[in-house]
Each structure stands twice: as structure tokens, then as C-alpha cells.
Amino acid sequence: MYKLHEEDITSVPSRPRLALTLGDPAGIGPEVILKALADPEISKSCDATVVGSRDLLLEIYTKLKLAKNSQPLADPEELSIFDVPLDKYTQDEILIGTGNAASGAASFAYMETAIAQTLANQFDGIVTGPIAKSAWKAAGYNYPGQTELLAEKSGAKRVGMLFVARSPHTNWTLCTLLACTHVPLSQVPLVLTPELMTEKLDLLVECLEKDFGLQKARIAIAGLNPHSGEQGQLGHEEQDWLIPWIEKERKNRPNLQLDGPVPPDTMWVKPGQAWYGNIEPSQAADAYLALYHDQGLIPVKLMAFDRAVNTSIGLPFVRTSPDHGTAFDIAGKGIADATSMKAAIQLAAELVSQRRKARL
Ligand SMILES: NC(=O)C1=CN([C@@H]2O[C@H](COP(=O)(O)OP(=O)(O)OC[C@H]3O[C@@H](n4cnc5c(N)ncnc54)[C@H](O)[C@@H]3O)[C@@H](O)[C@H]2O)C=CC1
Ligand SMILES: NCC(=O)COP(=O)(O)O
């Protein structure tokens, strides 16, 4: 269904140059990067440069090697590393398993470095290790997430948070865009507007065309309230603006199939069936537009927590990230699963190749 294939990576002259930020060094970011780069399939898919503190990475590597049932790890001595050294005070304050001001300052510095280097054309894209927003805040950086920092530094006016996951059962691809992201639940109905929805739909359509080769996509759009408001009985947003907005967009975009507002609980039945192979993939939509963070991410993580990729769309370069967070509870134990980080690296490499080809 989608045009992306592994051979896309090898048919371009040079391998995609990817910056891999360590994320919060107190979390599992360094571990999943070292595990991912130990896999030859992953390391050959791109020219990877780890952006982070070399000394700290060596220290974490040494500890992880001693962990029980230690899985293969790339040796930092053999990796390309863009060193972001930390002062001794900051390095001493970093405690594996606890996000704090020091770990937040470190992960922020890695991101700033990777973004600056990518804007200076040293990299084609960034794969980010997970950070803790609270650690950024403790370090004095008040951003809701990495996406917002990326948008600000790159000057992108519009940005979208898209989760992409390929089913290991059927190879079907689940694409879920969040209309609003790090917004408290009480603010969601206030933040959602027809203008915001149009912006997100534009981004999604551009991405499906440019990155996934889909010109006539079918997109399912969730309702906000139970049963999409049950004709106003269980909430009014659908009648007030969501249904009129979808009808207007249907008229404006005749090449798209826009379903919705789909009752939010049943919206995920078909993708679940397509994911597990219980229906033909063609019966599911090409992409799902969820109205808020948990409406989209609970089903994505139920189906694909081990392999979904958080993809920023609308930036001037490729950015992907695993879907999981810092997992402080297991950091340093050597048990973190690197599948989502591997998928994030592979997808970034594919997207870079796809965009290069589109420019030819
Ligand atoms: N892209 C990013 O930077 C993201 C950052 N976060 C941040 O991470 C921090 C922790 O968030 P949580 O909600 O606890 O989510 P989390 O994803 O860090 O952890 C949730 C649960 O899943 C487990 N887990 C997560 N990744 C795993 C892996 N690769 N292998 C094995 N088990 C894994 C953890 O041990 C934990 O039990 C928060 O500060 C949050 O803001 C959360 C999601 C994405
Ligand atoms: N739940 C997604 C998430 O927290 C990722 O945020 P970001 O750091 O990629 O902006």
C-alpha cells in the first residue's frame, strides 16, 4: 500500500546522515541507542552519529555490560559521536533512574546541538532519545516537549505529531496524527478549533503524499464526545463545529475520503483488526486523526508500544523518536527493549531517502 520499501535506502548515492540524541541520560535512551546500533540491519541503514556526552555514554556502556543477561550493545569507541561534554558538576549530579535538573540540562544540550548541526546541513535528520519534560523544566527550559523545541528552532510555523507503526502480523501501517498534543484534558475543547483541524489535516495530507506516496487517502477523524455527542445529547462540539468543518473539508478536498466524526471508542476497531490480520488492510483507513493525546495514543500503544514511531511532520528535516519515554524505573538494568528505537532509525532513514528522491 505504501511506497516506502527498504530498497529505497540503497538506491540513493549516500546513506542518510542521522543524528541520534541520547535523550535524558538518566533514562533508557542511551541503552536503546547502543542496542539499536548493535544490530547490523540498523547500522547499515544510515550513517549514524550519536549526539551526547562521550564520557557519560562510556560510563553507561560499562555499567550495562555488567547487567545480568546483557544483550548486544554497540561499543561507543566504535561509534561516530558528536561529543557534547558536560561540566563536572552536571555529570556528577546525573543519577541513572532519576530525572533531575542535571539530566534535563544534558538532554536539552544534546537536542540544541543536533538541531543546530542539522540546520547547518551536517545531518539529514534527527532521531531523538526520550527526554523527561519535568527534567527540562527543572533545568529551566519550559517546553511541553521536544516537538515544540524543534518547531521553534527550525522556524516551522506548523508541526504535527504523527505516530507510525508497521504491524508485525500483516505489515499494515497504522498512521495516527494527534490534533493537539501536550494539552491538559480540561483545555482540549478550548484548543480544538476548525482552524487548528485544517492546519493538521493539511500537514497530514502533505505527509501522506510526500512521504508515503498516497494521493487519494482515506482519513478517519474522531469525534470528541462519547458517541460523537449523540446528536448533542452527550456533548455539543460535534454539532457546533466539527461536523460542519468535516463537511466543508469534504467539499474542498474531493480527492480525499474523510470519514467522521467517528465515535472515538469504535474508531479503533478497524485498525485493531487490520493490525492483527482479522480484516483486509483496505478496509481500514490510511490515517487516523485523533483529537487529543490520549485518544490517539492509548490505542497506538496498546497495539504497538514496542514499535510505534513518533514522527514530527512539518519540520524542514526528518525527525523521529521511539514512542516510549525515559522509563526511569528500568534504566540501567539492561532490560529495555530497543525495537521502537530501531523502528525510529529505520523510518528516519526511509523518509530521508524518500525526500531525496522526491527532490531529484
Ligand atoms: N519522546 C519522548 O521524549 C517521550 C518522553 N516521555 C517522558 O518519559 C517520562 C516517563 O513517562 P511514562 O509515562 O512513564 O512512560 P514510559 O514510556 O517512560 O514508561 C512507561 C512504562 O513502560 C516501560 N517501558 C518504556 N519503554 C520501554 C522499553 N523500551 N522497554 C521496556 N519497557 C519500557 C517502563 O518501564 C514503564 O513501566 C515522562 O517524563 C514523559 O514526559 C514519554 C513519552 C515520549
Ligand atoms: N507522548 C508523546 C511525547 O511525549 C513525545 O513528545 P516530544 O518530546 O516528541 O514532543
pTM: 0.94
Give the three cell numbers for residue 268: 479503533
Ligand-binding site membership of 5 (annotated): no
Q: What is the mean pLDDT of the chain?
A: 95
Among 62-71, 75-84, 180-189, 300-309, which stretch is predicted with the lowest mean pLDDT? 62-71
| Cβ atoms of 312 and 150 closer than 8 Å | yes
Band (pLDDT 50/70/90 cuts) for residue 8 is very low
Q: Which domains does the chain have, with CATH numbers?
A: 1-156+315-360 (3.40.718.10), 157-314 (3.40.718.10)
Residues facing residue 81 across a β-bridge: 50
Q: 182: annotated binding-site residue?
A: yes
- The answer to the question of whether 35 is labelled as a binding residue is no
pLDDT of residue 6: 45
Instruction: Choose one of 131, 182, 305 to mutate for the ligand 2 pocket test, by most ligand atoms within 8 angstroms of C-beta.
Output: 182
Atom of ligand 1 nearest to the CA of 321: 1
pLDDT at 69 over 90: no
Task: Indicate the pLDDT class of residue 67, thresholds 50, 70 and 90.
Answer: confident
Helix locations, the chain, DSSP H = 7-10, 29-37, 40-43, 54-65, 88-93, 101-119, 133-138, 146-154, 188-191, 194-210, 237, 243-252, 269-276, 293-304, 339-359
Distance in angstroms (rounded) separating the CA atoms of residues 179 and 161: 8
| pLDDT given at position 2 | 41
Q: Residue 1 — pLDDT band, cuts 50, 70, 90?
A: very low
How close is the Cα of 233 to the center of ligand 2, in Å? 34
ipTM above 0.90, yes or no: yes
User: How many angstroms is it from 251 CA to the middle of ligand 2?
Assistant: 33
R_g of the chain, CA atoms, integer Å? 20
At residue 70, the pLDDT reads: 75
pLDDT tens for 222-240 read: 999 999 999 999 999 999 9
Rounded distance between C-alpha atoms, residue 333 and residue 60, angstroms = 10
What is the length of the chain?
A: 360
